[in-house]
Amino acid sequence: MTICWEFESRSDDPGEKLKRLREAAVEAGMENVSEVCWRIGPQCLDIDLGVPFEYDQIAIEGVSMHWSLAQDNYRPVVPELIAGFTAVPGPGCSPASFLLCRYPYYPLWRHRGFCKTQYAANPSYGGVDNFVNCHLKVTKVLDKAAEIGILKSVADEGGYWETRDVEQLKRALREWDLYIAAIVGSLASDAREIGLEAKARITERPDFERLEAQGCDWLRRRLQCENPDTPWPAE
């Protein structure tokens, strides 16, 4: 489960807005909140250089994919300038990059970001309560982004952004966990038959086998009765 967002700003200097957003991340209780950083020119990850580089989350996530009519596929577009910071909502959650970028031939600062909060629900990290805490922290930062005028859109696979309903968010988490566990378990079984090992973060959960069994049972019953409203198994 992921929450995605798009930022856009007409400001000539987005630094002050990003500093205010960083303050919101700190106040929300996010961990490892970096300072607002800048990447200029080649620092924006010129992927044509072919030069080894250390992992730079800000630079990598600044690269945008755009549809090319000439090539009939998506192609990476490297920004000319990147400003932003990174933060970790909590244990088990993926890091989040809150950026504004200047891309060639586009007059505004913009960026599409995301954070996968689902795996914060791993019981080893605190389970559902930890997941909800992480998801709500991201939402608080996006609320601040809306307040300072840089938030263009949000797509929340948990539905919380629109509803602010924690119980619905928990139900959505349950559905995602069971579905992904069933799919990953099936792929892992097929991989073992040909001598390969399939890895996924959901397999790190101590209750993965139970989730897989429940998810497979739900999918089987759904396919047999062809009823898309077949309820998910209870906890």
Query: How do residues 172-196 score in pLDDT, each as one tens digit?
Result: 999 999 999 999 988 888 878 888 8
In 117-158 the beta strands, taken as DSSP E runs, fall at 151-156
Backbone angles phi, psi at 120, to 5 degrees: -70, -15
Q: Give the list of residues 6+ apart from residue 126 with CB closer than 8 angstroms, or none.
A: 90, 91, 92, 120, 133
The pLDDT value recorded for residue 186 is 87
Q: What average pLDDT does the segment 140-154 reach?
A: 97
% of the chain with per-residue pLDDT over 90: 59
- Mean pLDDT of all residues belonging to the chain: 85
**Strands 2-9 and 109-116, how do they pair?**
antiparallel
The pLDDT, as a whole number, for residue 11 is: 82
pLDDT of res. 72: 57
Beta-bridged to residue 40, according to DSSP, are 81
| CA distances to 30, 86, 159 from 136, in Å | 11, 17, 12
Could you report the per-residue pLDDT of 43-94, keeping only the tens digit for each?
A: 665 444 333 333 456 665 666 655 444 445 566 777 888 899 999 999 999 9
Which helix H or strand E contains 170, and what residues bound it? helix 166-193
Mean pLDDT within 18-23 = 97
